[in-house]
Structure 1
């Protein structure tokens, strides 16, 4: 917390500085206004209250959409993707896993193929050279500047990467416990949704197909047969729930725990699938991306859509 209340004149000066420089940096305010850390932090808190800058997330503040120039937003998104790619492959290294190829595509800050990104970060930086997460992120940013027409790797980007990595860096620890791996995968999918939310975009609902491994998603079977894997709660509905909870200030870890019980599959046939997805005008229920009316996460039955469609099934077995 700050130790003094900034004057309106100082707040106005601070606002002009961060917008002009496109950098909500405490150090910048200290230098330009010749003030101490506590005073500069107090000004930043005032700008946050005025919705000029965002709250810190992973140690980083951004200008809000009203004040952030497109090129600044592009750079911020690039830095976040560099960090998230380095963090993703660090966790894959710990889990002795290559990571789903399509999941890589959601994170990567480059047009380079998903497998090429994996080879560079996981193969070269981590497995071969034993880099830290920070060094891998810096190495990726530098490589992109030199080989992929990426943004300039300047001192400001280096500082931002260092701040982001400091929030996530830990000693390498192999992970083989299945329960731990499953929960980590749910954290990863919510982190991806948060990443896109912070970038002002909407996450691809297919992310739920690629982050938790298929063998870790509870699966039931319709009694009428079928080969279509129906998510009992639509992926788009789960994504929107995550966005709403993150917007309320819930942590990524808490949201991951909340949604996990609702990610399950039942194998059904095409007739049953069509009945769920088709509009009422076409003879269906119109439940492709939504749950039945008045359903909620706190009290609702996760199989409510299937029940509404009259689908008989054996539910997924409880995980032991």
Structure 2
């Protein structure tokens, strides 16, 4: 693997009933373009007594992007938004100056049967001039996203711009997120199709690059001008993330992202004092965790 590339292994963490794999951030790379955080959920199943119930928690300074490969999740937030996000849809909550939200298994799936769930939640740092924007929630259904086939590949542009197309999802800085499936072993030409830093996440199967295999649960980080062609094995599926890096460093604490460490301290205090807006009709509350070290 050349010096212009980094291979990242997914690291598992426990999230109640589910194991979630974290791909970003890690020690050598805090962001890829404006993408600050990538969590991989599943593949798993929900069933009797084992449901997703992420109680009310806060965010500032970022947008959360929810994209499922299988299953469904109910999103509720303090803007009043209520949405069932199904596989192939994209939910995009821009926290700005402060938002609270929950993520749960929808009521109709709490039916005593087993249901698959597999997907990603991605955090996109907001540009400095939008860090304190009014919170909002945007949703684009699967059939409204740019979707096309070429060279035995099925491609969906989830967010941003790429391959000469633009997603209808309202985003706040130059970025891209692309879902690619290979029906046969096929080369994907990236050079000139995407702008900025790039992460290649293998969700299913295997990808070959310069003779190296990138397998399911791994992520390859590079720059688009250096990353010209990758080969997807038959049946493989990848997600491409990235874009232009933001000019300022971003700091993270828990669910907060900011260009200012002082702003993170204000957010911590506001959550502890329950000053954040609330999800209508929801009194759940996830306490602020104890700091494990200096702000990253």
TM-score, structure 2 length as denominator?
Answer: 0.29
Higher relative contact order (CA 8 A, sep 6+): 2
* Structure (1 or 2) with the greater helix fraction: 1
Larger-Rg structure: 1
* Structure (1 or 2) with the greater strand fraction: 2
TM-score, structure 1 length as denominator?
Answer: 0.27
